[in-house]
Amino acid sequence: MHFHDFRKSGHWPTLLAAFLYFDISFMAWVSLGPLMIYIARQLNIPVEDKLTLVSIPVLGGALFRTPLGSLADFFGAKRIGMAAQIFVIAATALVVAFGLNSQLSIALYGVTLGVAGASFAVALPQAGRWYPPQYQGLVMGIAGAGNMGVVLDTLLGPTIAETYGWRAVYAVLLALLVIVFAVYSIAAKDAPGDRRPIPISSYGRLFLDADSRWFMFFYFITFGGFVGLASALPLYFTTQFHVSGVAAGLMVSLIVALGSGFRPVGGYIADRIGGVKTLSILFAVVSGCYFAISLIPEGPAPASGAAGWSILQLPGVAAVAVALFSLGTLALGMGNGAVFQLLPQRFRKEVGVMTGLVGAAGGLGGFVLARTLAYSKGMTGGFGAGFIFFGFLAALGLLGLAFVKTRWRTTWGAVSGARI
């Protein structure tokens, strides 16, 4: 593939705008995760309830993705993308002004942040419609790599919160939201051609398609694993290894950076060797990492009265966990890219609706992962059972690929023009 040909084949300002829109939206979507220990400091919330609260935006993103994708098909991606950004900007401005003083207010803001998470159903189809089939894996990977916004959340959020308070973090986020909104308004364009709004009944028809449900299941595992870990790991590290909020943020930023940065790599490799083969390898890696993480014991607590281990004082068991999470999240991120190399080949005319459905399944997967870890902690006193559950899900994904690969490659894959 030549970069010159790739650039000429589409509209790079829209690709860049879609990337920035998804990036800042993802940053807002998962912001409660690294900041929860600061927001809830005066509220005496148990760790299980904290995990539930950080999972609410993830669930909101899952619920809003399908209707937002449908609205984008009907009114145009740019109009809906701008409206969604204005809604999140307004809600964040209220948080900066008035704070979050109860579990209810945190939950309500979490629902609002779900609209930011639903940006996936607008940004990715908006970018993808500009490019031909042979570039879909790379394009979807680039636009989808906007999920690296979580890196800035976990890297900078706790440090700013420690120094200036958590509301200062949302003040910075608000400024970035406004800047990206301005760039998106100027640079983004809808792809030429008539829009074909799809009736609500089409969602039900597509959901009944077996391939649709397979794609939803695969993305439930890959994106659900990524966003669920991005939301839950700050609380996991502070609870399991007794590290400070800043240390947890640094650890999680490394982990999620690999998942975000390697999403385009997953799409590119899938373009070269086929999405099915790529996903099969990645599911095996993810399953092994989850099972290994489930065996990691709780780390030692610091001396009484200490705020938590700093990044230079991490116990060895925490370093092992970081290595395993890094490998697993890298594979999850690449898996996201591989899924979206395959999806436009199978559902080329319904990519907007399918992005909404599959994206909703991914968001639901993140919610289920965070809630499973909360249940595991509440019922067993540890997180191991939750990771074992998701290890088995990844193994089921590997079996599912083995079941469908021959049919996919000999039917729609044979005429797709891409490697399947």
CATH of the domain at 282: 1.20.1250.20
Say what the pLDDT of residue 191 is: 72
Cα separation, 388 vs 57, in Å, equals: 24
Please give the tally of structural domains in the chain: 1
Q: Is 3 a domain residue?
A: no
Q: Residue 243: beta bridge partners?
A: 309
pLDDT per residue as tens digits for the range 227-274: 889 889 999 998 999 888 888 888 988 898 888 778 878 888 988 888
- Digitized pLDDT (tens) for each residue of the chain, 420 residues in all: 455 555 666 667 888 888 889 889 988 988 998 899 889 887 888 888 899 899 999 899 888 887 887 788 788 888 999 999 999 999 999 999 999 999 999 999 999 999 998 887 788 777 777 677 666 666 766 766 666 667 777 778 888 998 899 999 999 999 999 999 999 999 888 777 655 666 667 777 888 888 999 999 999 999 899 888 988 999 999 899 988 888 888 898 889 888 877 887 888 898 888 889 999 999 999 999 999 999 999 888 887 656 677 777 888 889 999 999 999 999 999 998 899 888 888 887 777 678 778 878 888 999 999 899 999 998 998 999 999 999 999 999 999 999 998 888 888 877 666 677
Is 140 part of a structural domain of the chain?
yes
pLDDT of the residue at 260: 77
224 within a domain of the structure (yes/no): yes
Predicted local confidence at residue 43, as pLDDT? 84
Backbone angles phi, psi at 243, to 5 degrees: -95, 165
**132/216 Cα distance (integer angstroms):** 23
Cβ neighbours, 10 Å, residue 288? 17
Q: For residue 61, is it within any domain?
A: yes
pLDDT 10s digits, 175-231: 999 999 999 999 888 777 655 666 667 777 888 888 999 999 999 999 899 888 988
Domain assignment present for residue 200? The answer is no
88 found inside a domain: yes
Largest CA distance in the chain: 66
Asked if residue 23 belongs to a domain, the reply is: yes
The residues near 189 (Cβ < 8 Å, ≥ 6 apart) are: 11, 13, 14, 78
User: 397: domain range?
Assistant: 12-188+206-411
Single-letter amino acid, residue 342? L
The C-alpha atoms of residue 187 and residue 190 are separated, in whole angstroms, by 10
Is residue 201 in some structural domain? no
